[in-house]
Amino acid sequence: SSPVPESIAVLPFLDLSEDGDQEYLSEGLAEELLNLLANIPELRVAARTSSFSFKDQNIQIPEIGRLLNVAHVLEGSIRASGNDIRVTAQLIRVADGFHAWSQTYDRSLDDVIRIQEDVALQIATALDTTLNPEALEDMAAAGTRSVRAYQAYIRGLSLRSRAQRTSDWSYLLEAYGQFEEAACQEPRAYADMDPDDFGALILPGG
């Protein structure tokens, strides 16, 4: 069946940093965006395990869209140097391969939380959907997070994804440590995380 117009897959962002050492940031940012978009009731979002399986594979957007049965694909990249970061995000229509929306953000690393909020809102607008009040409240709360806590959190997300992708479950122990660091740095924002965020609960075959 044809995908509904309000459907999207979020691909892992590329790390274009000079030293290639910001994969945790590029992958974690993409996952956090996926989580935000999943809070839009009218929007069908492909599962993380499905969309992230295309990481490092040379597959064109139309084919990814067909395989995931979505009408849009979000891809992007980050380039970080010191405290400066450039984030590029592109929303692509699968049907014709053209951009429905794109934006480049040149900011400081301290602003990365606001960048993800803006990207989610721009996509909601482009796809003619709306974020529900709870999602908007969550995004507002995200702005209170310390950058150090946020970095630990998305580093944990990246490690958890890597564990699922490679079946190397040692990454889960590292992810658990990062989530604990986030909760320690910013208890108000992270102490009530869903237990599933603590990757130690995700076991082989689970």
Residue 107 bridge partners (DSSP): 85
136-148 pLDDT tens trace: 666 556 555 677 7
Tell me, yes or no, if the pTM score tops 0.85: no
Q: Give the tens place of pLDDT for each residue, 14-44.
A: 999 888 888 888 888 898 889 888 888 889 9
| Closest C-alpha to 36, from 146, 154, 200 | 154
pLDDT at 167: 86
Mean per-residue pLDDT for 129-133? 65
Give 199's pLDDT tier (boundaries 50, 70, 90): very low
List, as one string, the DSSP characters of 181-195: HHHHH-HHHHTT--G
Token digits for 25? Answer: 């940031």
pLDDT of 204: 35
Q: Is the pLDDT of residue 109 over 90?
A: no
Res 195 pLDDT > 50: no
| Whether residue 113 has pLDDT greater than 50 | yes
